[in-house]
Amino acid sequence: MATTIKDIARRTGVSHSTVSRALRNDPLISVATTRRIQQVAREMAYLPSAAARSLKTNRSLVLGVIVSSIDDPFFSEIVFGIESCAQEAGYSLFIAASQHDPSRVEKIIQTMMEQRTDGVIICSSSLNSNQNRQLLEYGFPIVVVNHQAAENFHYSIYHDDVDGSRQVTRHLVELGHTRIAYLGNSLSGRTTLDRLTGYQAEMMEHHLQILEGYIHHVPGSNPALGVDGAMHFLALPKPPTAIVCFNDMLAIGVLQGCQQAGIQVPQQMSITGFDNITFSAYTNPPLTTLDQPKRSIGAEAARLLLTLLNSNQENPSFQPQQITLKGNLLVRQSTAQLTNREKK
């Protein structure tokens, strides 16, 4: 059994309320007793019970984080950003992975409510409208990250996917490519649509045609599906000479798929990723991609949520806020000019 303030009170011969005040450095208590009590508390290895405290203060100092999968390096980095910021402010993280399983999401939301989490950050696109409603009705502050239904929420951090996708596509156009395809992830909702939009806008601006079959979606974003995507494009009557991929995971698969089919990258095929996960620098050839500032995104999300929590006391109706961050094109070796032989 852990020591409590009552134990300390007994030991020092004061009431438990005096101990409570002394530990919080309340000026009501004399310096002498405060010091004595804190000394004893240290000796007895006292640690306050978070449960009791949050019961009384109605603040748990815990933030809930919902991600779709922990072992996706993209989310890992966002979580990293969140954690750094939260830990600085004295908040801890309650992390749960939905694994794209609706029943699991249900449980997670319930748990977070039961834990009376001070706020929630959602980095998962797999919440349905009913779950959204439930969360909003409960009334705790929510910040969403790259979420498809962000208009339902008041506070969100966005990466400018349209802009990013335009940057990537423009890079390929400037290299001289005209037959450029897009490989999306049909499960990622709004995100893939934004990236598709950016691709389309840039193609249109340069009066480039998008041939039949050049826009293709696979149900997820692991490398194996990327291989499938590569097969699809290579089987077209007029295969593209460059493929804009939804993210790095897919791009890695496409890269492998092409190489298995004997297509040389980047000489015969240019491939771009999106996100700049750690491993994109270590593929062969290293991947040209869009460096999404993942840690900043996570940190911004946490910062926004913390601001929300602090302002909620004085200023009950904080105005909606939407922060957009832009990424940077990162040119590596998976893209190149067309060789003459391939231009035909």
Residues that bind DNA (CB under 7 A): 1-2, 4-6, 13-18, 20-21, 23-24, 27-33, 46, 48-49, 52-53, 55-57
Find the binding residues for a copy of itself in span 194-253 (CB under 8 A): 222-223, 252-253
Contact set for a copy of itself, span 138-197 (CB under 8 A): 138
* Separation of alpha carbons 34 and 20, rounded Å: 10
Q: How many CA atoms lie less than 13 Å away from 76 in the CB half-sphere?
A: 7
Task: Return the number of the residue (20 or 134) whose C-beta is nearest DNA.
Answer: 20
Q: Cβ(304)–Cβ(320) under 8 Å? A: no
Rounded CA-CA distance 174/204 in Å is 14
Contact present, 285 and 332 (Cβ < 8 Å): yes
Options 13, 42, 207, 282; binder of a copy of itself; rule CB under 8 A: 282
| Calpha distance 19→243 (Å, rounded) | 66
By the rule CB under 8 A, 54 interacts with a copy of itself: yes
Q: Which does 242 bind (CB under 5 to 8 A by kind): DNA, a copy of itself, none?
A: none
Nearer to a copy of itself, 33 or 76 (CB): 76
Select 279 or 318, whichever has its Cβ closest to a copy of itself: 279
Which helix (H) or strand (E) covers residue 18, if one does? helix 16-23
- E-strand stretches of the chain: 62-67, 92-97, 119-123, 142-145, 155-159, 180-185, 215-218, 242-245, 270-272, 289-291, 321-325, 328-330
Report if residue 115 touches a copy of itself, rule: CB under 8 A. Answer: yes
The answer to whether residue 130 forms part of the interface with a copy of itself (CB under 8 A) is no
Q: Which of 17, 49, 186, 324 contacts a copy of itself by CB under 8 A? A: 49
Alpha-carbon distance of 149 to 125, in angstroms, equals 8
- How far does the chain reach from its first CA to its final CA, in angstroms? 79
Of 54 and 337, the one with the shorter C-beta distance to DNA is 54
Which residue's CB is nearer to a copy of itself, number 133 or number 206?
133
Residues that bind a copy of itself (CB under 8 A): 2, 45, 47-52, 54-55, 60, 69-71, 73, 76-77, 79-80, 83, 87, 92-97, 104, 107, 110-111, 113-116, 137-138, 222-223, 252-253, 255-256, 259, 278-279, 281-284
